[in-house]
Amino acid sequence: MTRLLCLTLSLVAATPSVAAAAADAAPIRLSIAAGKIGEVCMPLGAGDTLAWRFRASAPADFNLHQHVGDKVLMPVSREAMTRHRARHTVDRDNDWCLTWTAPAAQAITVSGDWHVRRARRR
């Protein structure tokens, strides 16, 4: 099954997106304008475990979320993080996004990596 890594950077009013090769691991390298968001999204299956670690150049809000219909489900949400390392096992097949919000008055850079441990499929 082909997996697609989508990197979405909201650096201006429009949200540009870049698709990369299929991956179960990738580096995180984002430059995010003041008050904007940066996202790294990937398709995950129920039971997959996503692990990540990052450093931000200034405190930034961070979350892991998915969209289900018109709802945004956010099992992980942290405020004012300059570094974070964690993992989360997802409960459904969906596109999941690691998301950072830069402070209103300051652009930031975010660096780190993520990887997926795939659940065994029957």
Which uninterrupted H or E stretch holds 13?
A: none
- Structural domain of residue 21, as residue ranges? 5-117
Check if the beta carbon of residue 12 is closer than 8 Å to that of residue 35.
Answer: no
Task: Provide the number of structural domains found in the chain.
Answer: 1
Cα–Cα distances in angstroms (integers) from residue 34 to residues 4, 39, 56, 106, 112, in the given order: 28, 15, 13, 4, 20
Question: Does 14 reside within a domain?
Answer: yes
Question: Does 29 reside within a domain?
Answer: yes
Q: Distance between CA 40 and CA 48 in Å, rounded?
A: 16
Question: Does 49 reside within a domain?
Answer: yes
Instruction: Report DSSP state, residue 14.
Output: S
pLDDT tens, 86-113? Answer: 999 999 999 999 999 999 999 999 999 9
pLDDT tens, 49-91? Answer: 999 999 999 999 999 999 999 999 999 999 999 999 999 999 9
Name the band, by pLDDT with cuts 50, 70 and 90, for residue 31: very high
CATH number of domain containing 37: 2.60.120.680
